[in-house]
Structure 1
Amino acid sequence: MSKPAIVPETTASGIAVDPRTLERIIPESRRPDGSVRKQIKIRPGYTPQEDVRRFRGTRQTQADATALPKGHIIGWTPPPQAAAVAPASKAGMSKAQKKNEKRKEKRKEKRDEGEKVKDNWDDEDEGEAAGGTTTKTEGVHTEEQPNWAAAPDTKKGEAASADGLADKLDKLEVR
């Protein structure tokens, strides 16, 4: 039997083993007013209520030992680490696998180019005015293809000038 540590470990109730006498004791302590509590000897075999462990039957103990970790999904196994093939290790690939790998890389590059976020929204308009190759004319307002959602209705004979809009605003009533 080895001797106990110099700084004894205490239980939840404060009981420790005296290193000199190997008896269970509650060591002396200091009260808030400065006085000292005396050391208390504990009878052999006595276990205070704070130190009593919860009873667990053999089946409960066995179930706790074989329990799955919290959040574990039954039947799920993590993917193997070697499943992701690095592009550098193409030596063991067949001709078709190498071809498919190149296609996948090209698709990924194309996708990354398309996902670029512009720093300034004005850049989009400048590119189209500078001779950009845009074929999209849905939101464009021209005389041949008017966009009635963006332009005022001039077919009804109303003035499209600022004075006409000011007259319309004057007529509106706010309730």
Structure 2
Amino acid sequence: MSKPAIVPETSAAGIAVDPRTLERVIPESRRPDGTVRKQIKIRPGFTPQEDVRRFRGTRQAQMDASALPKGHIIGWAPPPQAATPPASKAGMSKAQKKNEKRKEKRKEKKEETEKVKDSWEDEDEGEVVEGKGTGTTSSEREDLHTADKPNWAVASESKDASADALADKLDKLEVR
């Protein structure tokens, strides 16, 4: 049997369980003039009128349980809360821990691919597309204009770049 609470819960009528004797009592209290009221014992099984709950039939109880809260708008749902990382992994199952590790690895991999190259001389990693700070290689980009896959929205940019490169080559070849 469990021990009663140090500060006993009281009912609407003020009845509490005495922690020493485990009997139902109205504890002693102090009057406004300073005198003390005696503790009153309550007979077993007695329920005062203040503690009697209002009778609700089964249908009424079901309606009360399914009733919407005051001020609720039908069809409205609160916006989803932002996902917060769990405070500790102690309460997580094996599958949840495994999924969390996968998510972290995907995030690290994504951050790794988004890095801008430090050295432009490294050709083994592929060319970095100008104007795009993502660090993706030209072979991976789908929106580039090539002979195999023409993309006319990007083609005007590549024509300007190739025209500048051609003009530079011609300046170098010019005989004086």
User: TM-score, with normalisation over the residues of structure 2?
Assistant: 0.42
User: Greater Rg, structure 1 or structure 2?
Assistant: 1
User: TM-score, with normalisation over the residues of structure 1?
Assistant: 0.42
